[in-house]
């Protein structure tokens, strides 16, 4: 079912925006957190942005966390192994998934293109983040 959701999300987005958009993905786990977190949690995210407007949409999901997610964000300004501030709040994190739309600043979009943004999901037990994944441009 999750794969079908991703396919529908991607098809709808590509139909609406056509070739002007760029897709990015992230695979999240506790080992990627800084510092690393021991967890069975995992997740994935798909983000699609228009480079001209810096506007985008996302669909992020996760499972197996130590408890309910308390927040989910995109952070920009750090490569893997370093931490950075919040760039986008991904929305209500309580359901195990988040979707929405938003806009990056020019600097944040430059960080996204340079691989210096990541998705981070927080829990009560792991307030700094339980799972994390660096966002990477997806080539079709």
Q: What is the CATH number for 127?
A: 2.60.40
* Owning domain of residue 18: 2-137
pLDDT of 15 above 50: no
Where helices occur in the chain by DSSP H, the ranges are 2-17, 106-113
pLDDT of 136 above 90: yes
Q: Say what percent of the chain tops pLDDT 70.
A: 86
| Residue 117 DSSP code | E
| Residue 139 DSSP code | P
5 φ/ψ angles, rounded to the nearest 5 degrees: -60, -45
Specify the number of domains making up the chain.
1
Residues in Cβ contact with 121 at an 8 Å cutoff, skipping those fewer than 6 apart: 28, 41, 43, 60, 62, 65, 69, 71, 72, 93, 129, 130, 131, 132
Token output for 23:
């897709």
Q: Each residue of 75-111: pLDDT tens digit?
A: 999 999 999 999 999 999 989 999 999 999 999 999 9
d(CA 118, CA 134): 4
pLDDT of 125 above 60: yes
* Cα end-to-end distance, the chain, whole Å: 22
Q: Each residue of 49-72: pLDDT tens digit?
A: 999 999 999 999 999 999 999 999
How does residue 139 score in pLDDT terms, banded at 50, 70 and 90? confident
């Amino acid at each position: 079912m999750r794969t079908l959701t991703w396919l529908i999300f991607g098809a709808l987005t590509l139909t609406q925006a056509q070739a002007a958009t760029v897709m990015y993905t992230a695979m999240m786990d506790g080992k990627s957190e800084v510092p690393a977190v021991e967890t069975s949690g995992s997740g994935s995210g798909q983000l699609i942005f228009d480079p001209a407007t810096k506007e985008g949409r996302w669909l992020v999901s996760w499972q197996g966390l130590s408890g309910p997610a308390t927040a989910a964000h995109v952070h920009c300004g750090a490569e893997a192994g370093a931490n950075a501030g919040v760039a986008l709040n991904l929305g209500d994190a309580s359901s195990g998934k988040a979707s929405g739309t938003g806009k990056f600043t020019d600097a944040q979009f430059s960080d996204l293109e340079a691989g210096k943004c990541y998705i981070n999901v927080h829990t009560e037990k792991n307030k700094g983040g339980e799972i994390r994944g660096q966002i990477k441009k997806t080539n079709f």
